[in-house]
Amino acid sequence: MSKSQTITEADVRHVAKLGRLRVSDDEVHHFTEQLAAVLEYISKLNELDVEGVEPMAHPLELVNVLRPDVERPGMATESALVNAPAKMPPYFKVPKVLGDGSGA
């Protein structure tokens, strides 16, 4: 997290890809500048010695919760499909996953 590790345009392209976002060259440039400024501020955390501190992922002491194994109605197919961008009831419809079919 030192200054030399400030986020680069290549990093931004990489995380955009991981996050399934398309970003134009202009956007990459702009986002890199903004994220670098935020990360530089975040690097303040390096001032602290956190050796031996237990990480805190959640405010509550959580235990796994199971509901009683009792049959109950689920969401109806029609309800699940109400917001579908494309559908062929009872299915959601999506583009071909395997390209144009000429080879997969």
Partner 1 sequence: MNPTETTLTELRDAIAGKAVSSAEATRAYLDRIEAHDCGDSGLNAYHEVFTERAMARAQAVDKGDVTGPLAGVPIAIKDLLCTDYGHTTCCSKMLENFKAPYTATAVQRLEDAGAVILGKTNMDEFAMGSSTENSAFVTTRNPWDRDRVPGGSSGGSASAMSADLCAASIGSDTGGSIRQPAALCGVVGMKPTYGRISRYGLIAFASSLDQIGPFTRTVGDTALLLKVMMGHDPLDSTSANVPVPDDIDRVDEAPKGLRIGIAREYMSDSNDPAVAAATQKAIEVYRDFGAQIVEVDLPHTEYGIPVYYIVATAEASSNLARYDGVHYGHRTDKAEDLIDLYCRSRSEGFGDEVKRRIMLGTYALSSGYYDAYYSRALKVRRLIKNDFDSAFEKCDAILCPTTTGPAFKIGELADDPLAMYMNDVYTVNSNLAGNAGISLPGGTATVDGKALPVGVQLLGPSFEESKLLKIARIFEAATDHYTLRPTL
**Residue 18, interface with partner 1 (CB under 8 A)?**
yes
For the beta carbon of residue 99, count every other beta carbon within 10 angstroms. Answer: 8
Residue whose CB is less far from partner 1, 21 or 29: 21
**Residue 94, interface with partner 1 (CB under 8 A)?**
yes
Q: Give backbone dihedrals phi and psi of 35, rounded to 5 degrees, phi first.
A: -65, -35
Burial tier of 12 (Cβ tally within 10 Å: 0-12, 13-18, 19+): buried
Binding interface with partner 1 (CB under 8 A)? 1, 7, 11-12, 14-16, 18-23, 31, 34-35, 37-39, 41-46, 48, 50, 53-60, 62, 65, 67, 75, 79-80, 82-86, 92, 94-99
